[in-house]
Structure 1
Amino acid sequence: MSKPQPSSPAFNVLVVDDDPDSAESLAFCLQQDGRTVRCATSGEEALAVAETFAPHLALVDIFMPRVDGHALAQELRRRFGTGMVLVAVTGAIRSVETGAFDFQLTKPVDFGQLEQLCRLSQSQRSAAA
């Protein structure tokens, strides 16, 4: 019988994209590495999910209807402070203004870069605890 592995603390990731297929594919990759992931397909839905899910990292699409990624990032920052790492995910290389976002990934997302950001965020969270 194999020895049970010690459980690591949960690391919550919120994926926000108005394209459900994009959100789900990112979520799938993140879940494969043992992270807890929730998806939202609008800024409004993301804010509601964040209230109960408490994400450590949020991947936010910039170009969404109604509440765009910039407005969502500002509201997430206002509500949750700097404890949440915010990553802009966009197809336009120069679309991200400095401000609420910590990092930017360009679509299609390089999963190696995404993994590095997740590990960095997890290590920062561990150091702060």
Structure 2
Amino acid sequence: MQSSTTPTAYKILVVDDDPDIVELLEYNLRREGYTVSSAPNGRRALEMAAEVKPDIILLDVMMPQLDGIATCRLLREQPQFRDTYIIFLTARAEEFSEVAAFDAGADDFIAKPIKPRALLSRLTAYARRDRDPQPQSETIKINGLTIDRTGYAVYQGGQKIMLPKKEFELLSFLAASPHKVFGRDELLQNIWGNDVFVLARTVDVHVRKVREKVGDHHIQTIKGVGYKFNKE
């Protein structure tokens, strides 16, 4: 994200195949001072993202040519979009779609019909979090891992492991307090914030993805309670 948190500092890419929704979002976002681009499908979204380098992407799930889930995965594979906020906008509000969205690397999930004021409130929350980052040490070395909190990178056995932003934040948060057990609600509050409404299941998805990349033994499940980082 941009270092400034004035609305005009943020570039937003709207991706939806419904022109009425695109028009609604463009009108409300531009009125708030955002710079807005749009794309009608996932393939065009990839091209536009490379061109305009948006700070925020509002991404529909069901689209022709390339759906939103696949588009999100492809974006997250590119380093320049690792820290880009990706928010899904979709009429498919069942839990499966939400879990799939976060599994692909989404930051947030909003069900249609879209309420412009609620959406703008979410965007303001993201800006506030960028403006007021939590103080933290730069590097954590624990249990064979080196976690570089400024470079958003993890090193294990001399190998660099790149994690999407939320997966990295989850790992580093747990590693900062080894052996302390955190409940899902506490993790949601600290990683996603009070202004983002996601399911507790989202934590489970992200823990699974982190384990796939750094190993199962670093994060322990405490049945009925939550998760903790294993120091040894």
* Shared fold per TM-score greater than 0.5: yes
CA distance in 2, matches of 1:84, 1:30: 17
Q: Kindly, what percent of the aligned residue pairs are identical?
A: 30
Alignment partner, residue 115 of structure 2: 110
TM-score (norm 2): 0.49
CA distance in 2, matches of 1:81, 1:32: 25
Contact 1:14/1:58 (8 A) holds in 2:
yes
Matched, 1:90 2:90: yes
Q: CA deviation at 1:109?
A: 0.8
Specify whether residues 123 and 54 from structure 1 end up closer, same or farther in structure 2 by C-alpha distance, changes over 3 A only. Answer: farther
Name the aligned partner's letter for residue 82 of structure 2.
T
Q: CA deviation at 1:81?
A: 3.9
Q: CA deviation at 1:127?
A: 4.7
Residue of structure 2 aligned with 1:120, choices 99, 116, 125: 125
Alignment partner, residue 5 of structure 1: none
Name the aligned partner's letter for residue 114 of structure 2.
V
Question: How large is the Cα RMSD of the aligned pairs?
Answer: 1.6
Aligned residue for 1:23, secondary structure, equals helix
Aligned residue for 2:82, secondary structure, equals helix
Alignment partner, residue 38 of structure 2: 39
For structure 2, the residue ranges without an aligned partner over 5 or more in a row are 1-5, 134-232
Contact 1:12/1:37 (8 A) holds in 2:
yes
Alignment partner, residue 13 of structure 1: 12
Paired positions, count:
121
Moved more, 34-43 or 22-31: 22-31
Aligned residue for 1:89, secondary structure, equals strand
- Bigger radius of gyration among the two: 2
